[in-house]
Amino acid sequence: MTTIAYVDGRFPRSPAWWGMLLFITTEATLFALFLVSYFYLRFESIGPWPPNGSDPKLLVPTVMTALLMASSVPAYLADTSIRRGDVDRLRFYLASTLVLGAAFLALQAYEYHDKLRSLRPQDDAYGSLFYTITGLHGAHVIVGLVLLGWVLFWAIRGRYGAHRCVPVEISSLYWHFVHVVWLFVYLSLYLSPRL
């Protein structure tokens, strides 16, 4: 584990942080390409969008959005807590983020179960892109939960402190990326067809 020392009272950015930022940039590019493809097909298609004529239901995705937005708060607080050396709060905030993220995934599974009755991926371009984009995002949520769970495991074992917090910082950074990407997915796939 790399120990990061203070420089002028601030934490410097570790190579791991820059690596995570680079990874997030490539993943953001992937999501941007899928969303551009979605809008290209939407505006090039003739007839209603979505093609099956039914606007996406908003209740469950809106609750999912609220859960994911709320989960960024304890992720941020976990990062700031460990920088102050408060391991107990770190554990609490990591666990809170995990619970909210798991609730998001549970609602996504419920939404898929409900939506598959009327829309399958092979039905049309909308269905294909809807499940590809939301499924890809769900996979990123799972990766984020695994990262946070791993950090929580080591936090319980007392591995982190004010000067040993890089894994907390980069897992929190990744979680914020997952949250921001979902906002674009929500606005594109759920709200824009209603405009």
DSSP string, 82-136: HHTT-HHHHHHHHHHHHHHHHHHHHHHHHHHHHHTTT--TTT-HHHHHHHHHHHH
Three-state DSSP class for residue 14:
coil
Which of these CATH numbers, 1.20.1340.10, 1.20.120.80, 3.40.50.720, 3.10.400.10, describes 55-194? 1.20.120.80
- pLDDT score of 117: 87
pTM check: above 0.85: yes
Region 170-179 average pLDDT:
96
Q: Which of 31-45, 46-60, 63-77 has the lowest mean pLDDT?
A: 46-60
Q: What is the distance, to the nearest Å, from the Cα of residue 133 to the centroid of all Cα atoms in its chain? A: 12
Query: What is the residue type of 185?
Result: V
**Domain ranges for the chain:** 55-194
Residue 150 has pLDDT above 70, yes or no: yes
Q: Are the beta carbons of 101 and 141 closer than 8 angstroms?
A: yes
Residue 75 has pLDDT above 80, yes or no: yes
Q: How confident is the model at residue 168 (pLDDT cuts 50, 70, 90)?
A: very high
Beta carbons within 8 Å of 195's beta carbon, 6+ residues apart: none
Q: Is the pLDDT higher at 29 or at 12?
A: 29
Beta carbons within 8 Å of 17's beta carbon, 6+ residues apart: 166, 169, 170, 173
Distance in angstroms (rounded) separating the CA atoms of residues 88 and 86: 6
- pLDDT score of 4: 47
